[in-house]
Amino acid sequence: MSQATLIKCFAESLGIPAEQVTDELQYNTIPQWDSVAHMTLIAALEDAFEIMLDTDDIIDMSSVAKAKEILARYEVSF
Amino acid sequence: MTLSAIRLLAPQQSAQSVEFFCQERSDLLTPFSPAALEFVETLSRQLLRDPAFKAHPEMIALGYWLRKANISRLAEQAAVPTAVTNHAVRLPRGLVFHVAPSNVDTIFIYSLVISLLMGNKNLVRLSSKSSAQQMLILQVLNQVLTELPDNPVSHSLMVVTYPHDDTISRQLSSWCDARMLWGGDNTVSHFSSLPVRPTAVDIKFANKYSLALLSVQAVLAADDAGFARLVRAFVSDTYLFGQQACSSPRAVCWLGDTHMVSQASTKFWSAVDAAVNQYPHGLMAADFMQKLVFVAEHAIDYQSVLSPVSSDMTLTVLNTELAGLIETRHHCGRGTFLQTAVSQLTDLNAVLHRGVQTLTYFGISAGELQTWLQAGVPGLDRLVPVGQGLDFDYIWDGVDLFASLSRFVTIR
Amino acid sequence: MNNLDFFYQQPSPYSLGAAEKQQVLHSHLAALDAHHQQHCELYRRIASSQTAAGWFDQQVFLPVRLFKEYELKSVAQQDVFKVLTSSGTTSQQVSRIALDRETAAHQSKVLVKIMQHYLGVQRLPMLIIDHPSVVKDRLSFSARGAGILGLSTFGRDHTYALDDDMQINLERVQAFIAKHQGKPVFIFGFTFMVWQYFFQVLQQSGQQLDLAGSVLVHSGGWKKLIDIAVDNSVFKQVAFATCGIQRVHNFYGMVEQVGSIFVECSHGYLHAPDYADIDIVDARTMQKLPDGQQGLIAVSSVLPSSYPGHRLLTEDLGTVFGEDNCPCGLNGKYFHVHGRLPKAEVRGCSDTHAAEVKP
Ligand SMILES: [Zn+2]
C-alpha cells in the first residue's frame, strides 16, 4: 500500500512514469528531479502519509531508497 | 471621491464596495481559524499541483512554504507561551493594507498569508504595471476564491490596483489598522508620508543587502559530496532570481587563515562557475552589460579588480578591500560577487549596517556566530546556512510578523 | 601630443588596407591606452580591473554609460575648453565629454575629411530639417545642437525647414529651393525628425518638393522608426517619392566619439574610416566575435586624448560583414547596426521604478 503511494507521489511530483521510480533513482540525476520538483515531492509525501518531515530529512532525501528509509522513521512501513 | 479609479483584481467580483470592505470590522476571524488553515492549504495545493506553475520556481517555493506541515510547524512556533495566555487573548488587528512592491516579487504573499492566518482582513494594492508574475499570483488567488466560495477568508481579501494616486493611497491608509510596505526605499518612504490612523502600525520592508560567509578551512576540507552540496546551495541562493532578491548574497566574505584564502576561493569559484553554466539563470546580453558597468563603477569607487576565476560574464567576482564589500548603491546582482577575507568575525562589524539583512554561512559553528552576535553587531537580521537564503521566515527583517499582525488583549 | 598627421596625409578617409590599418591604428590606440592610464586615475582603475579578466584580447573598452555617471577626463580642468553633453533616450542622466583644444580640433578636422568625401570640397547650400532654436544656447550644446553646428561647416545659406512648433515652414523651404534651383543641395537632420516632421508630413499632405540632385545626410538611430516599421529602404523610398532625393547617407556615431563617424556607403553599409574601427563583441564572454555574427558594437577612435573615450563598448547591436571588400569599393570594415540592446527584465526588491512614487 505504502509502496504504491510512494511511487505515485514520486511519479506525479516529478512528472515521470511510475516504472522509472526505482530505489536507485537519485536526486539531481534526472532533469525532472531538481530542487524545485523536490519541494513538490516533499509536500506530496507529507500530504499522502500525513506526516511532518524535519528539515534534515528533507535535505537527506537523496534517492527513492533513502526516502523509504526516512519515511520508515515516521512509522510508514514498506 | 476618486475611489472609482480602483480596479478589483481578486476576487473578480464582489458584492462589497471597497469602502464598505475597508470599514466593516464585524467579520474578523480568530488566529489560526480552521477557515484560514483551509484557505492556505488550498492555496498551497493549487500552487504545487497546477502545471502552470511548474516553470516558476518562486511559485513552487511559495506553495511549498504554505504546505500544511509547514503551517502547523509555524503555528507551534508562533504559539503564545502559557505565561501569557493565562492572562491574554490574541486577536487580529483588523484591516491590513499591503502595498506590494512595484516590481515582480512574490515575497509580499508570505506576509499576506501570515496576516490572514492571524484573522485579519486584507486589502492588497498591486502595482498598476502588470507583469507575468502578477498575472500568476492573481490567477492562483482567483482559483482559490472560486474553489472556496463559502470560506469566510474568501470574503476578507481584496486585491486591487489603481494608477499612482495619493488621494486613493491616503484614503486607504486612513482606514487600515496595519500597513505593510514592501518595495524600494523611495516607495516605502513615500507611502510612510501618508498618515495612518494613530492606533495603526506601519511595518516597512525596504531595500536590503545580503552576503555569504564561508570558512576557508571548511571549504578546503569539505568532502566531494559536501562540497557539491555547498556549491549547489550557493547557486540557488544567488541565481534563482538573478540575485535580485534582498536576501540573495551579493558578497562573499572568507573567514580564516588569510594564507589559504586564494586556494579556497579558487576551488569554490571554479565549481560555482561550472555550476552556473548549467543553471537556467536567464541572464541576457543586457544583464552582462549592466555587470560590465558595475565592474567599472566598483573599480572606480574601491579599486576592486576582476578575478579571473570565471569563464564568462555569467559569474563575475570582484576582489575588493573590506570597505568595498557592502555596496548598496550600484550593485546590480545578476551573478556579481564582491569578495574579501577577514581573519575574525568581529572584523566584519566595521562594514555592517542596518541595511544588511541576511548572512548565509558555511563551516562556521552556531556557537561562534552566537558569541559574535551577542557582543553586538551593527546590522544583520538573519543568519542561515548557505542554501536557505531565500527561505521565508515569519521573523523577517527583525520583525515578528505573527506578533505585529495581531494584538494581545490582557485580562487580569 | 596626439599627432594624427599620418592619417590626414592619406588621399581619402578610406585609404588604409587591413594590414596597414591594423598596424597603424593599433599602435596609435595602444599609445592612447598608455596616455589615459597615466592621466586619468579613474580610467587606470577600470583598466586594472578589466585586464585582470583578460577580456577583449587585453584591450580595455569602457561602457559608454560610464560617461553619464563620471567625469572621465585626461586633462587638467583648466585645459577643458568645452564640455559636450548628450541626453540618453532612456535616462535623465547626460554624458559629459570634456574636450581640450586639441581633441576638439581633431574632431572638426576628421569630420571635414569624412564629409568632404561625400559632399565635395565646395560648401553647398544647406537645408536643416530642424528648428532654429535647437542651436541657440551655445554654452550648453545638446547633442542635436552640437550635431547640427558640427555639420553646418559643410554648408552655406543655412536654412531651417521647421519652425519652433515643429511645423514645416513651406514658404521658407520653397524660397530656398527656388534660389538654388538646379544646384546640388546638402540636407541634414536627425533620422527621426526628418521622417516624422518632414517626409511624413509631405507624404500625408501629398506635397512634392524638388530636391533632386541633393544629398541627404541623417543620423540619430532607428529605434523610434523601427517601432513604427520604417527601415532604411522605406526611408529611402519616401525620400525619393516626396523630394526626389536619390543620395541618402545615414551615419552612425556617438557623442562620446564625435568626428570619426561611420557613414553609409552607396551599397547601404556603414563604413569604418581610417581614423576608427569597429568590433563586434559577445556580451557573455566579453570577447570579439568573427565577421558575420551579431553582437555588441565596440568602437575605437584615434581622436580622443582629453578623455578616455578611444575604445568604447556601446549598447547597440550590429554585424560586421567584412573588411576592404565592400562592393562600393571603399576600404575599411563595413557593417549594419540592428538597434539597441533589448532591456533586461527587472526583478527583485530594489527601487527600479522611481516613477512609481510620483503622486
Ligand atoms: Zn560600402
Q: Among C252, C284, C304, where does a domain finish?
A: C252
Mean pLDDT of C289-309: 97
User: Where does C244-309 show beta strands of DSSP type E?
Assistant: 247-252, 262-264, 270-271, 276-282, 287-288, 294-301
Least confident of A49-63, C235-249, C271-285, C340-354: C340-354
Domain total in chain C = 2
C205 lies in a domain?
yes
C347 lies in a domain?
no
Q: Which CATH class is domain B209-385?
A: alpha beta
The Cα B167–Cα B63 span in angstroms is 35
Grid cell at residue C324: 576592404
Q: Among C208, C230, C252, where does a domain finish?
A: C252
pLDDT of A2 reads 87
The Cα B46–Cα A59 span in angstroms is 24
pLDDT tier at A14, thresholds 50, 70, 90: very high
Grid cell at residue C197: 516632421
Domain A2-72: assigned CATH number: 1.10.1200.10
Residues A59 and B388: beta-carbon distance below 8 Å:
no
CB contacts, 8 Å: A46 with chain B: 67-69
C211 lies in a domain?
yes
Give yes or no for a cis peptide into B11 (omega within 30° of 0).
yes
C138 pLDDT above the threshold of 70: no
Q: Does B57 touch chain A (CB under 8 A)?
A: yes
Mean pLDDT of B47-56: 86
CB contacts, 8 Å: C357 with chain B: 164, 186-187, 189-190
Grid cell at residue A36: 524545485
Mean pLDDT of C175-204: 93
- Look at B308 and C54 and tell me if their CB atoms are within 8 Å: yes
The burial class, CB within 10 Å (0-12 / 13-18 / 19+), for B83 is: exposed
C322: domain CATH number is: 3.40.50.12780
Q: What whole-number percentage of chain A has pLDDT above 90?
A: 54
Angle between helices B34-49 and B68-77 (to 10 degrees): 140
The burial class, CB within 10 Å (0-12 / 13-18 / 19+), for C34 is: exposed
Alpha-carbon radius of gyration of chain A: 11
pLDDT of C41 reads 97
Q: Does C313 touch chain B (CB under 8 A)?
A: yes
pLDDT of A12 reads 92
C268 Cα to the center of ligand 1, angstroms: 7
B74 pLDDT above the threshold of 80: yes
pTM (global) more than 0.90: no
Q: Does B48 touch chain A (CB under 8 A)?
A: yes
C339 pLDDT above the threshold of 80: yes
Residue found under cell 553646428: C149
Same domain as C232, residue C167:
yes
pLDDT of B400 reads 94
C359 pLDDT above the threshold of 50: no
Q: Which of B156, B36, B32 is nearest to B406 (CA)?
A: B32
C345 lies in a domain?
no
C347 pLDDT above the threshold of 50: no
Residue type at A5? T
Mean pLDDT of C67-87: 88
B128-to-B6, B7, B92, B116, B288 alpha-carbon distances in Å: 10, 9, 29, 24, 29
The ranges assigned to domains in chain A are 2-72
Mean pLDDT of C121-127: 91
C114 Cα to the center of ligand 1, angstroms: 14
- Look at B67 and A53 and tell me if their CB atoms are within 8 Å: no
CB contacts, 8 Å: B45 with chain A: 47
Q: Phi/psi of residue C77, each to 5°? A: -55, -40
Same domain as C87, residue C27:
yes
The ranges assigned to domains in chain B are 7-207+397-410, 209-385
Residue type at B396? W
CB contacts, 8 Å: B72 with chain A: 52
pLDDT of C357 reads 29
Same domain as C202, residue C170:
yes
- Look at C283 and B288 and tell me if their CB atoms are within 8 Å: yes
Mean pLDDT of A38-63: 88
Same domain as C245, residue C139:
yes
Residues C271 and C117: beta-carbon distance below 8 Å:
no
C162 Cα to the center of ligand 1, angstroms: 32
Q: Tell me how far the alpha carbon of residue C96 is from its chain's centroid.
A: 16
For residues C182 and B410, the model is more confident at: B410
Least confident of B76-80, B157-161, C172-176, C222-226: C222-226
C270 Cα to the center of ligand 1, angstroms: 7
pLDDT of C344 reads 62
Give the environment of ion ligand 1: residues with CB less than 5 A. Answer: C 265, 267, 269, 326, 328, 334
The Cα B182–Cα B62 span in angstroms is 17
Same domain as C209, residue C135:
yes
The Cα B39–Cα B33 span in angstroms is 10
- Look at C285 and B312 and tell me if their CB atoms are within 8 Å: yes
Q: Domain B7-207+397-410, what fold?
A: Aldehyde Dehydrogenase; Chain A, domain 1 (3.40.605)
The Cα B74–Cα B71 span in angstroms is 5
Residue found under cell 571588400: C325
pLDDT tier at C140, thresholds 50, 70, 90: low
Residues B120-173: pLDDT tens digits?
999 999 988 777 778 888 999 999 999 999 999 999 999 999 988 899 999 999
Mean pLDDT of B94-109: 84
Strand partners, B251: B211, B338
pLDDT of B224 reads 95
Tally of CB atoms within 10 A around A28:
13
Q: What domain range includes position C238?
A: 122-252
Q: Does B207 touch chain C (CB under 8 A)?
A: yes
Same domain as C245, residue C131:
yes
pLDDT tier at B342, thresholds 50, 70, 90: very high
Residues B198-216: pLDDT tens digits?
999 999 998 899 999 999 9
The Cα A50–Cα B69 span in angstroms is 8
* ipTM of the complex in this document: 0.89
